[in-house]
């Protein structure tokens, strides 16, 4: 009996150690790109795009909200960029948020409405007890693999609750790569393999909150429920630095790694590997129904 109790105690200690280790998140990536870019006040770099009655700025924190009567709200950068670092600290709405999409992204859909490019950070709403999905996506000329509804999506369930506090989310877009960061941890690295698999035209920076009930939560299984309105997304500590040229090829790379202007260090790669092993929810490259001929980067 004593040996049995000792065995159970050993299992408990292992479980507690493992749980606490996982809860701590990835090891330090050793480099913080966000510290290389100065903060920007919302009015210095952005303007309301739609839903002004659902947008408020208080002591540097922008709140945008969604309700049934007036819809959501969105904002847009004053300038377009052909490469650069864009980021913001964000805090999400807690509780039932199924169908609600809160995002920060690059797009040129207004300039190229039928064949736009896009680089997305999207939080897909959820039901109580389930984590938000943090979705990253890349579009080129309106398509993912030849169908307008598909992109190059990779999604994650983060190692913290994004409704409890502000965390910094960012996109680094260089002539040869795109890197997505969460609190300076690189979670996705998308290198350029060819001109057909990489966005190369200038884009504006956008943020918005809106109703994506048809697809956002478990492929549309759960819809927005407006008895829980208003749904609020908060943004602060905006960071935008980049090349204002019209074409990516004319821009110089922005450092995302201490080892040079492009690529990731070994420490950053190790941190990203931990995220993929512990928190990746889905990956378009692992979708066997996709036409691999049209996603050669996989």
CA–CA distance, 120 with 182 (Å, rounded to integer): 13
What are 154's strand-pairing partners?
136, 283
CA 116 to chain centre: 19
Catalytic residue from among 118, 153, 177, 200: 118
Is 122 noted as a catalytic residue in this protein? yes
Q: Would you say 80 and 244 are in contact if contact means Cβ atoms under 8 Å apart? A: yes
Q: Would you say 282 and 155 are in contact if contact means Cβ atoms under 8 Å apart? A: yes
* CB-facing half-sphere around the CA of 100: CA atoms within 13 A: 30
Closest by CA position to 25, among listed 184, 159, 217? 159
Catalytic residue from among 110, 122, 153, 200: 122
Tokens of 97: 């948020």
CA–CA distance, 162 with 155 (Å, rounded to integer): 15
Is 245 noted as a catalytic residue in this protein? no
Q: Which helix (H) or strand (E) holds 16?
A: helix 2-23
CA–CA distance, 134 with 156 (Å, rounded to integer): 5
CA–CA distance, 80 with 76 (Å, rounded to integer): 9
Tokens of 74: 């969105």
CA–CA distance, 180 with 158 (Å, rounded to integer): 13
What are the phi and psi torsion angles at 66 (to 5°)? -125, 130
Catalytic residues: 118, 122
């Amino acid at each position: 009996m004593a040996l049995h109790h000792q065995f159970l105690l050993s299992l408990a200690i292992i479980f507690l150690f493992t749980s606490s280790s996982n809860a701590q998140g990835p090891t330090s990536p050793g480099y913080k790109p966000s510290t290389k870019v100065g903060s920007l006040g919302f009015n210095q770099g952005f303007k309301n795009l739609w839903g002004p009655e659902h947008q408020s700025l208080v002591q540097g924190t922008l709140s945008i909200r969604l309700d049934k009567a007036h819809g959501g709200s969105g904002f847009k950068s004053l300038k377009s960029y052909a490469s650069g670092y864009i980021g913001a600290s964000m805090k999400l709405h807690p509780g039932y948020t199924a169908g609600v999409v809160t995002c920060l992204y690059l797009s040129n859909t207004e300039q190229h409405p039928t064949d736009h490019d896009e680089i997305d950070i999207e939080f897909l709403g959820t039901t109580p007890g389930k984590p938000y999905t943090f979705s990253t996506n890349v579009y080129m000329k309106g398509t993912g693999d030849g169908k307008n509804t598909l992109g190059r999506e990779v999604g994650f369930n983060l190692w913290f609750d994004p409704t409890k506090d502000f965390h910094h989310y960012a996109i680094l877009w260089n002539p040869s790569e795109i890197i997505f960061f969460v609190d300076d941890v690189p979670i996705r690295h998308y290198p350029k393999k060819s001109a057909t698999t990489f966005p190369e035209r200038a884009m504006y920076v956008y943020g918005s909150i809106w109703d994506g009930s048809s697809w956002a939560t478990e492929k549309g299984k759960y819809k927005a429920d407006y008895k829980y309105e208003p749904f609020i997304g908060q943004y602060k500590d905006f960071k935008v630095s980049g090349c204002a040229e019209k074409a990516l090829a004319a821009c110089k790379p922005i450092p995302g790694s201490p080892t040079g202007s492009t690529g990731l260090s070994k420490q950053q790669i190790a941190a990203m590997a931990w995220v993929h092993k512990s928190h990746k929810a889905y990956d378009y490259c692992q979708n066997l129904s996709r036409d691999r001929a049209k996603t050669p980067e996989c």
